[in-house]
Structure 1
Amino acid sequence: MSEWKAKRFWKSVETRAEADGYGVFLDGRPVRTPAKVPLILPTEGFAEAVRAEWEAVDEVIDPGQMPFTRTANAAIDKVAVQKDEVADMIAEYGGTDLLCYRAEAPEALRARQDAGWDPLLDWARQTYGARLAVTSGVMHLAQAPEALVPLRAAVHACNPFQLAALHDLVSLSGSLVIGLAVANGQSSPEALWALSRIDETWQEEQWGEDEEAQNQAALKRAAFLHAAEVWRLSGMH
């Protein structure tokens, strides 16, 4: 038995300013989330990105081809209703940040990590007053609580759309500092993604590329860059 799929039923797609943001309308009817909540976006740019996805639907609605709509749905239906819990989950990455764990050997890899990651930790200290300690190896290093407080505060200051973006930036990179660096425009998302992949890039240089690993890395990179764009479109409030 074939699976039922929703098909395009509308002719026109438009955005409109609403009291609390921007809505997307199909033949004058508002788009709603899976939880039946009006899909209200925080900025006109975000609404335009969602509008373009609905406009691009040919015959069958394929959520896989609508990443901005999917992220907006998640922000409204999931993040907004448990905002503090999501923020806490993201902030926890500060205690095990990728940038704080360096290789014991070889020296060349350690030097590459130091060169790429030390400036980011310096930036976190200068921007947030967060002094994160660094260790060699994989054994857990407990960070001083006072180093994590300002990072947690920065996460909790985000709106639900920003949190949805930050969640992916942090979880994909393994680094709260990298996620916040993207959010603050410390460097380009592409450059920061490359810094999160120093270890993997090193392994590829030593042992050659693995096709499956390359495909997975490409998917993660695309998701990271999408999250960076969602953050950009989510406004600073």
Structure 2
Amino acid sequence: MSEWKQKRFWDAATVVGTETGFAIELDGRRVKTPAKAALVLPTRAMAEAAAAEWAAQDKVVNPLTMPVTRSANAAIDKVRIQHAEVADMLAAYGDADLLCYRADTPPQLVARQSEQWDPALDWAEETFGVRLQPRSGVVHQPQDGGALSRLSDPVHRMTDFQLAAFHDLVSLSGSLILGFAAAMNWKTPEDIWTISRLDELWQEEQWGPDEEAQALAALKHAAFLHAKRFFDLA
């Protein structure tokens, strides 16, 4: 049996203001989330981006071509009902942050990690008054609890929509610090993504590219850039 797919039934997708934000109407009918909650977005810019996705649908709705709508659905249906839990999970990345786990050999890799990752830790110290400490090797060594608490506070203060985007910025980069850096425009999203892939790029230089790994990296790259766009729209 073929999977049921929603067909396009509307002519116009429009943005309308509400008491709590901005909704999307399809020929006057309000869009809802998969969980049947009202799809009310925090900014007109986000609503217009989502409405453009609905307007671009052809005969059959393809959710894969609607990243803003999908992220908004996640913010409302998932993050909103477990905001504290999601924030705790993301803040926990600081205790095992990618930037803090360093190679001890070869010297060229050690130097490259220091060159590219130390400035991000410097930026975090200037921004949050906290410096996470690098370690050699892959064995977990806890960071200072006070430092982690100070980094956790701004995560918990994020809105549902910001947190939905921040989830991908952190999980895709493997770094709480790089998630903050992307959200707060320390460098361009492209630069931050490249910094997060330092180890993988090093391996490619040594052993050559792997097609499957590159294909997966391309998907993650696109998702990271979308997450930054969604965070800005929020």
So what's the TM-score if we normalise by structure 1? 0.97
* Counterpart-to-counterpart distance in 2, 1:99 and 1:233: 27
- 1:39-74 alpha-carbon deviations (Å, 9 max, x no partner): 011111110110011000000011111111111000
| 2:59 match: secondary structure | coil
Instruction: Report what 2:138 is aligned to.
Output: 138
Instruction: Report what 2:68 is aligned to.
Output: 68
Per the TM alignment, residue 187 of structure 1 is displaced from its structure 2 partner at its CA by 0.6
* Counterpart-to-counterpart distance in 2, 1:17 and 1:42: 10
- 1:139-158 alpha-carbon deviations (Å, 9 max, x no partner): 11110011111110010010
What letter is aligned with 1:62?
N
| 1:138 match: secondary structure | coil
So what's the TM-score if we normalise by structure 2? 0.99
Check if 1:106 corresponds to 2:106.
yes
What letter is aligned with 1:41?
L
Equivalent positions of 1:88-99 (< 5 A) are 88-99=88-99
% identical aligned pairs: 58
Divergent runs of 4+, >4 A:
none
Instruction: Report what 2:10 is aligned to.
Output: 10
Which segments of 5 or more consecutive residues in structure 2 lack a partner in the other structure? none
* Counterpart-to-counterpart distance in 1, 2:141 and 2:59: 53
Instruction: Report what 1:218 is aligned to.
Output: 218
Per the TM alignment, residue 129 of structure 1 is displaced from its structure 2 partner at its CA by 1.1
Instruction: Report what 1:229 is aligned to.
Output: 229
Instruction: Report what 1:128 is aligned to.
Output: 128
Per the TM alignment, residue 2 of structure 1 is displaced from its structure 2 partner at its CA by 2.1
What letter is aligned with 1:57?
Q
Instruction: Report what 1:179 is aligned to.
Output: 179
* Counterpart-to-counterpart distance in 1, 2:13 and 2:171: 34
What letter is aligned with 1:31?
V
* Counterpart-to-counterpart distance in 2, 1:187 and 1:157: 22
* Counterpart-to-counterpart distance in 2, 1:150 and 1:230: 25
* Counterpart-to-counterpart distance in 2, 1:178 and 1:86: 17
Instruction: Report what 1:204 is aligned to.
Output: 204
* Counterpart-to-counterpart distance in 1, 2:49 and 2:217: 25
What letter is aligned with 1:78?
K
Check if 1:115 corresponds to 2:119.
no
Check if 1:86 corresponds to 2:86.
yes
* Counterpart-to-counterpart distance in 2, 1:68 and 1:35: 17
Equivalent positions of 1:32-71 (< 5 A) are 32-71=32-71
Per the TM alignment, residue 19 of structure 1 is displaced from its structure 2 partner at its CA by 1.0
Q: How much is the aligned-residue C-alpha RMSD, in angstroms?
A: 0.7
Instruction: Report what 1:192 is aligned to.
Output: 192
What letter is aligned with 1:168?
D
| 1:186 match: secondary structure | coil
Per the TM alignment, residue 16 of structure 1 is displaced from its structure 2 partner at its CA by 1.1
- 1:190-219 alpha-carbon deviations (Å, 9 max, x no partner): 100000000000000111111111100000
* Counterpart-to-counterpart distance in 2, 1:50 and 1:133: 41
